[in-house]
Amino acid sequence: MMKPLQTLKCEVCHEGVASMAAEQVAEGLLQLPDWQCDNPQQPTRLFRRFIFRDFAQALRFTNAVGSFAEQQNHHPDLLTRWGAVEVTWYTHKTGGLHLNDFICAAQTDRIFTRPGDK
């Protein structure tokens, strides 16, 4: 059983580390019900779309996620639009998903739910 993602820390990922198996990904998704994977059989990306009232709110969220990502040295793809931000986590070194992606997704959810961010 996977520990609660919000209690875990993103750790440096080294070359040669294996990506998560589909079963591990499925277990991680149980803690992230609003997130999706690109391919259930061989997942390589974890993504979610966040909705906002306007562009300014979406941009504040983008900047907050970017600041968090820089602190973790783990960087998502961020697509900011009027009223929406799409966040995609994946690990280049594994060519797929790593536990860090799920930890960072959980923290992204936490950033989204902070008072004043929406």
Supply the range of the domain harboring residue 66: 46-118
* Structural domain total, the chain: 1
CATH number of the domain within which 61 lies: 3.30.1360.20
Is residue 7 one of the residues assigned to a domain? no
Q: Is 96 helix (H, G, I), strand (E, B) or coil?
A: strand
pLDDT of residue 25: 92
Residue 96, Cβ neighbours under 10 Å: how many?
Answer: 22
Q: What percent of the chain has pLDDT over 70?
A: 94
- The residue that leads in pLDDT, 56 or 116, is 56
Q: Would 71 be classed as within a structural domain?
A: yes
**Rounded mean pLDDT of 2-24?**
80
Cα–Cα distance for residue pair 61/118, rounded to 1 Å: 8
Residue 116 has pLDDT above 60, yes or no: no
- One-letter-per-residue 3-state SS of 47-87: EEEEECCCHHHHHHHHHHHHHHHHHHCCCCEEEEECCEEEE
